[in-house]
Amino acid sequence: MNWNWSHVDDFMPLFWDGVELTLKALFFGTLIAFSLGLVWAIAQRSEKKWIRWPVTVFTEFIRNTPLLVQLFFLFYVVPEWGPSMSPLTTGIVGLGLHYSTYTSEVYRAGIEGVPDGQWEAATALSLSKRRTWTAVILPQAVRRVIPALGNYVIIMLKESPQMAAIGALDMLGQAQGYSQATFTYEAISVVGVAFIVIAYPASVLLRVLERRLVR
């Protein structure tokens, strides 16, 4: 066993750069996942078949295919006819899109959990459709699903290193770069431990939140 702590010290500045990029990707990816997921969820409750069907097919397809291949697709295929994106932007879009298909299921469960009587009461008060959604249904549904949504933030964090495969310098990308340049291997261990150190307390926090919010 040969472990060299000085490599760990040398890697630390790069590590913090990586943390910054990972968190940036996570933040914007989460924004996309949370908002797009809501769009999918509402669209899937639409009365119009031509809205419901394509959205269902699209989200099923995205959810059941690997994020990694989707990242490749966004990075190599999309520029052939669309915008060219940096690795970070691709990572954000990829993570956000992929996990929006999961959050849409979370929202859907939350919306279905709102009792039918609430819809009927809103109708009885002749609230508009928009008003029914924004003032009655969503506030009740979202409160219930906050812990589940939070869990997907943690999952996105753990899956975010995949963007290193398209050249993003997140925590894993930095570690890889450092290791390959110096022929050392300590950096990966640092990153591995870092993920546990971030993800475990976050999931404990969420469980506390779940106990408070969902009952």
Partner 1 sequence: MMSSEFFGNWFLPGIWITVQVTLLSAALAFVIAFPIGVLRTNRLWIVRFLAGAYFEIFRSTSSLVFMFWIAFTVPPVFNISFQPMFAGVLALGITYGAYASEIVRGALAAVPPAQREAGIALNFTPAQRLRRIELPQAWPEMIPPFNNLLIELLKGTSLVSLIAVADMTFAGDLLRLVKNESAPIYTLLLALYFVFAFVLTRGMRLLERHAKKRIGQAPEKTGLFSGMRAKSSIDAVTGTGGAK
Q: What is the DSSP letter of 80?
A: G
Q: Of 25, 67, 141, 168, which lies in the binding site for partner 1, with binding defined by CB under 8 A?
A: 67
**152 and 103 Cβ atoms separated by less than 8 Å:** yes
Spatial separation of the C-alpha atoms in residues 87 and 164, rounded to whole Å: 8
Q: In terms of C-beta density within 10 A (0-12 exposed, 13-18 middle, 19 or more buried), how is residue 94 classed?
A: buried
In sequence order, what E strands does 28-90 have?
A: none
Q: Of 147, 173, 174, 178, which lies in the binding site for partner 1, with binding defined by CB under 8 A?
A: 147
Binding residues for partner 1, total number by CB under 8 A: 51
Q: Which is nearer to partner 1, 41 or 154 (CB)?
A: 154
In the complex, what is the shortest distance from the CB of residue 207 to partner 1, in angstroms, rounded to a whole number? 8
Closest Cα partner for 108 from 178, 38, 157?
38
**44 and 56 Cβ atoms separated by less than 8 Å:** yes
Spatial separation of the C-alpha atoms in residues 155 and 51, rounded to whole Å: 29
Residues in 154-213 at the binding interface with partner 1, rule: CB under 8 A: 154-155, 157-162, 164-165, 171-172, 175-176, 179, 185-186, 188-189, 191-192, 195-196, 199-200, 203, 207, 210
Q: Which is nearer to partner 1, 127 or 165 (CB)?
A: 165
Contact set with partner 1 (CB under 8 A): 1-3, 60-61, 63-70, 72-73, 76-77, 80, 105, 147-148, 151-152, 154-155, 157-162, 164-165, 171-172, 175-176, 179, 185-186, 188-189, 191-192, 195-196, 199-200, 203, 207, 210
